[in-house]
Amino acid sequence: MKTFEYTIRDELGIHARPAGMLAKTAKALDSEITIAKDGKTVGATKLMALMGLRVKCGDTITVTVSGGNEEASEKSMKDFLEANL
């Protein structure tokens, strides 16, 4: 299992469009991805759950990658977050 933190830089946070892109990216990976904020953890493939975290600009999320090719999946998630959020 791999875990890393990321601070959201997008001024709108994780809203509908990037949440959909994040879910799509997570679905394409062979690892299970979870996102946690303020003690609440959701599966990264679940669009409505992601939006329910109410992640805003400046918030720090914890991303956990487990199973499958963890290193490749972790890199993909980091790259996605850097490019989009």
The label of the residue with tokens 């879910």 reads: 23
Q: Which of 2, 15, 46, 78 is labelled catalytic?
A: 15
C-beta separation of 80 from 22 below 8 A: yes
Share of the chain above pLDDT 90, in %: 95
In this structure, the dihedral spanned by the alpha carbons of residues 11, 26, 41 and 63, taken in order and rounded to 10 degrees, is: -70
Query: Taking 90 as the threshold, does the pLDDT of residue 24 lie above it?
Result: yes
Integer Cα distance of 3 and 76 in angstroms: 13
Report, as an integer, the average pLDDT of 6-23: 94
Report, as an integer, the average pLDDT of 44-57: 94
Active site annotation includes 61: no
Is pTM, for the whole model, over 0.95? no
Q: What is the mean pLDDT of the chain?
A: 95
Structure confidence at residue 68 (pLDDT): 87
Pinpoint the alpha helices (H) of the chain: 16-27, 47-52, 70-84
